[in-house]
Structure 1
Amino acid sequence: MDFDLSWVLWGLPIAFVLGWLASRLDLRQLRIENRQAPKAYFRGLNFLLNEQQDQAIDAFIEAVQKDPDTTELHFALGNLFRRRGEYERAVRVHEHLLSRADLSRAERHRAQHALALDFLKAGLLDRAEEALRKLEGTAYEGQALLALLAIYERSRDWPQASEIAHKLDASGQGNFSGRQAHYLCEQAAAAPPERAEQLLREAMQAAPGSPRPAIDLAALQRRAGDAQAAFKTLTRAIEEAPPAVPLIAKPLTDAAIASGSQAQALELLQKNYRASPSLDVLEAIVALEPDTDAARALYVKHLEREPSLVAASKWLAQEKLEHEQFHPLVQGALDHAVKPLTRYRCAACGFEAKQHFWQCPGCQAWDSYPARRVEEL
């Protein structure tokens, strides 16, 4: 059978015409989509980049009304509401997203996480806890566990906090043994003596290098009238946590005096002071030094090693001046000047306090207070 070239001659123009029509249809569809694309969305982005949040919110609301199926617009709008503190509106946006049946699994988890953040920022801890619990097994589980931990610490629900810390430890989110020890110490503070001792010993096993369980246990033993046991507990604590000696020095001195172990305590504190001079350790040594003149001289020796207004004030308080009638005035001025230097300062947020805290009252960070005072930092 002969091949008819006329079909080829007719087919080429027809194919060209069909291709041209198809391209025109694609261009028309593109123009229609461009016209339908919410211009308000781009206006909202422009306002957002210029930090004009009020105008950005209005533009995004307009965009959502024109295209209610766009999930990204809902997320953007919800986040803007949350940043502005309009938590009720943020909650409504994210709850609307969760009510949609066409939402993908990943987007549903994202909306659930956003809703939990809304409740958390609004201070609705019960609802935030419920929302965060629903994120178990999702990509947001790690963030949800950290948020739950913060909630339980804030509400001082230490058993729940301990449970979450165990999960975070198991998931490789970090080492939470130090926090576990603090949780046990917090529970011990409100428990009967026998139960408190058990909890504190568990805390010592959970975090051997943490000084708090030993300090709290020694205080419990002192209250029970066993000063010798308290002294032994603090002696072991000094060996296990040398950086915490300034915090341990005062309770160790008290336990030594009560148990008649002054000589042993003095030798131990002098050894640690030689290795790392500290005002609190120096004060403990002075309290244990039987020779008053030798004790006063310790402040001068400290000044030879490190300039310290606090040590100078302590030394001057025990000295007689040529014009003794002015001594109280001079001493009062010095005491006022050194007060800020004897505070403790949080290494995380800079919050200063007269006493040492295991958890910062300002930023809620654990173990953020160094054992040394401001003057020694």
Structure 2
Amino acid sequence: MNFDLSWILLGLPFAFVLGWIASRMDIRQLRFENQQAPKAYFKGLNFLLNEQQDEAIDAFIEAVQNDPDTSELHFALGNLFRRRGEYERAVRVHEHLLSRGDLSLADRQRAQHALALDYLKAGLLDRAEAALLKLEGTPFEAQARLSLLASYERSRDWPQAALVAQKLDASKKGNFQGRLAHYLCEKAATSITQQRPEDAVAALNEAIATAPEAARPRLDLARLLSNQGNAQAAYATLAMAIDASPSAIPLIASPLAEYAFSAGQTTDALQLLRTNYEAAPSLDVLDAIVLLQASSDAASPTPRDWYVRHLEREPSLVAAAKWIAGEKLEHEQFHPQVQRALDHAVKPLTRYRCAACGFEAKQHFWQCPGCQTWDSYPARRVEEL
């Protein structure tokens, strides 16, 4: 059979034209789809910058529908849901990401971390723990361990918290010796509640060895020894605490004076506190000195003279109120009203304030009740900060 080459020559340009038209149509469709997703994405970003989270979520959902394979949009949407407290929707987004077979290893690890944060925020601690443990050996390992640590602290699982803190300390992600000492103190408190004082003493001694500069283990140990009737050992423990933790002397002063009375060490305690007060004046140390001075044979300075001396060094409304309490005024009949007003005015000044979140409390906390930060309360009261 003979082929007419002229038909082939005529057909080649036609085929070329058809191919060109088809390619142009594909390019236009691709451009249209690519324009739709970025447009919705940038719209959502604009809403987010203007703190319009509802509109931002709607825009990101539209972007995800236009381009369901874009993992970044899913991450943005999941994070928005978590920030708004819609944890169930955030979990669904991140679980959808993890179910995709084409997800890269880096994005899979990132999605696993995001899912763990969703569970933590939702208070599902068991699921959060399981999700965080899967991040061992990944770039999110350190973050996962810190989250696990917070979770164990929240559930008061001190043995598990100690294990995680030891791993973090060994990996040089910070100094966790102080936290480990706190965990041992919490363990000791549990042992005391369960009538196991020997275990409590062992835990507190281990805490002192773990963090020699920490004040809490020695304070707790001294209290335990005092309750057992060993005032001499309790006093000696706090005397060593002053050398080990000079910044915590305001917390140590009052119980030191108390144990000094029981142990017959008032003279030594008075000398110790006076030496430290001269180096760093403090209201709590001053109160302990006044208490000890009142029971000593020393005639000068009198207890009230100490408050005048303090006012010469530090402008303190608290010290002034305590000095006036024992002073005879010209119009003594109005003294109770004046004293009551002064006592009311100084109350906020005698509180402790968290350095991390500003939460104020009448008593000193080792872990802030507001932000859960350890050792964020200075030993000094608000007036002295």
TM exceeds 0.5?
yes
Choose 43-52 or 164-173, whichever is displaced more: 43-52
**Structure 2 equivalent of residue 313 of structure 1:** 321
Look up the equivalent residue of 1:279 and give its one-letter code: L
**Structure 1 equivalent of residue 160 of structure 2:** 160
**Structure 1 equivalent of residue 10 of structure 2:** none
After superposition, the C-alpha distances for 1:207-230 in whole angstroms (9 at most, x for unaligned) are 111010000000000000000000
Do residues 348 (structure 1) and 345 (structure 2) align?
no
Deviation, 1:193, is 0.7
Percent identity for Structure 1 against Structure 2: 67
Task: Tell me, yes or no, if the aligned pair for 2:350 and 2:362 is still in contact at 8 Å.
Answer: yes
Choose 264-273 or 75-84, whichever is displaced more: 75-84
1: CA distance, partners of 2:110 / 2:366: 35
Deviation, 1:41, is 4.3
**Structure 2 equivalent of residue 147 of structure 1:** 147
1: CA distance, partners of 2:275 / 2:82: 56
1: CA distance, partners of 2:349 / 2:307: 16
Look up the equivalent residue of 1:129 and give its one-letter code: E
Task: Tell me, yes or no, if the aligned pair for 1:44 and 1:55 is still in contact at 8 Å.
Answer: no
TM-score, normalization: structure 2?
0.89
**Structure 2 equivalent of residue 36 of structure 1:** 33
Do residues 208 (structure 1) and 212 (structure 2) align?
yes
Task: Tell me, yes or no, if the aligned pair for 1:45 and 1:56 is still in contact at 8 Å.
Answer: no
1: CA distance, partners of 2:314 / 2:21: 85
Do residues 69 (structure 1) and 69 (structure 2) align?
yes
**Structure 1 equivalent of residue 132 of structure 2:** 132
1: CA distance, partners of 2:234 / 2:329: 41
**Structure 2 equivalent of residue 50 of structure 1:** 47
Choose 282-291 or 76-85, whichever is displaced more: 76-85
SS in 1 for 2:356: coil
Aligned residues: 359
Look up the equivalent residue of 1:138 and give its one-letter code: T
2: CA distance, partners of 1:217 / 1:53: 52
Deviation, 1:24, is 9.1
Deviation, 1:65, is 2.7
1: CA distance, partners of 2:99 / 2:206: 46
2: CA distance, partners of 1:69 / 1:145: 30
SS in 2 for 1:37: helix
2: CA distance, partners of 1:60 / 1:242: 55
**Structure 1 equivalent of residue 303 of structure 2:** 295
Task: Tell me, yes or no, if the aligned pair for 1:38 and 1:66 is still in contact at 8 Å.
Answer: no
Task: Tell me, yes or no, if the aligned pair for 2:47 and 2:56 is still in contact at 8 Å.
Answer: no
Task: Tell me, yes or no, if the aligned pair for 1:44 and 1:57 is still in contact at 8 Å.
Answer: no
Report the CA distance shift for 1:335/1:34 in structure 2 as closer, same or farther (over 3 A).
same
**Structure 2 equivalent of residue 280 of structure 1:** 284
1: CA distance, partners of 2:325 / 2:41: 67
Look up the equivalent residue of 1:59 and give its one-letter code: A
Deviation, 1:319, is 1.7
In the TM superposition, what are the counterparts of 1:39-118 in structure 2 within 5 Å?
39-51=36-48, 52-118=52-118
Report the CA distance shift for 1:65/1:303 in structure 2 as closer, same or farther (over 3 A).
same
2: CA distance, partners of 1:178 / 1:260: 33
Look up the equivalent residue of 1:105 and give its one-letter code: L
2: CA distance, partners of 1:121 / 1:367: 24
Task: Tell me, yes or no, if the aligned pair for 1:40 and 1:59 is still in contact at 8 Å.
Answer: no
**Structure 2 equivalent of residue 234 of structure 1:** 238
After superposition, the C-alpha distances for 1:104-133 in whole angstroms (9 at most, x for unaligned) are 211111111111111111121111111111
After superposition, the C-alpha distances for 1:65-101 in whole angstroms (9 at most, x for unaligned) are 3332222222222122222221111111111111122
After superposition, the C-alpha distances for 1:103-162 in whole angstroms (9 at most, x for unaligned) are 221111111111111111112111111111111111111110011111111111111111
Q: CA RMSD in A?
A: 2.1
After superposition, the C-alpha distances for 1:298-354 in whole angstroms (9 at most, x for unaligned) are 111111111111111111111222222211111111100110111111111111111
SS in 2 for 1:350: coil
